[in-house]
Structure 1
């Protein structure tokens, strides 16, 4: 049974990491038009317990994208400088939508793996009861 429990823990950690990734992606999309906003990026890290890797993953620290902000010409904008430009965001909506779709698909794959392990362990318990 511990193999089933372990596989469910692995897929649950993947679902949690992908849901957090999707949260950061949605924050980026929501702030795409916010002046001065830097895109948030994340990476995955393997969970280590007692000096050994567990196979589970977690989201690493959130980092801000260091690419330059888009310069937008709008002399009437309250944040515009004397030349009429202000700093926009460095969020690319196409990239964010692709990241969101990838996170969603990865979450669904982990969910299917979790459900399959749950069904297999339930079937094993049914066989053992007979």
Structure 2
């Protein structure tokens, strides 16, 4: 595998990982008001391809955030206990939006690297033709 295709492959794996991350972040944001919802978190792992020493990014297992669920006082809510409270979610919108911005920027950085490797490969091919 050439260096250019290796660079594109690594960048593509990074874009796929960040896209997965954005998907889970959007699920968290959309379920922020769902009672009992636990925030989903993913981790990234290094994966070596078959037969080469190129390390790619892979999404690890999806885990649920085990921090305490917020207790909401609303005696009229159908899930409220005798004290008038029910468990909300543990999603903090500020954290989710910051993580989404970070994932978006990481995706864009991988996209620029992919595009740069493509341009360099095309330029090299053009030089070899002349």
Q: What is residue 87 of structure 1 aligned with on the other side?
A: 87
* TM-score w.r.t. length of structure 2: 0.96
Pairs within 5 Å for 1:68-107: 68-107=68-107
Root-mean-square deviation over aligned CA pairs = 1.5
Query: What is the TM-score of this pair, normalised by structure 1?
Result: 0.96
Deviation readout 1:35-86 (Å, 9 max, x if unpaired): 0000000110000345975321011000000001000000000000111000
**Other-structure match for 1:22:** 22
Q: Which residue does the alignment assign to 2:121? A: 121
CA distance in 2, matches of 1:36, 1:53: 44
3-state DSSP class of the match of 1:76? coil
* 2:68 counterpart SS class: coil
- Tell me the residue number matched to 2:62: 62
User: Which segments of structure 1 move beyond 2 Å, counting only runs of 4 or more?
Assistant: 48-54
Contact 1:45–1:60 at 8 Å: present in 2 too?
yes
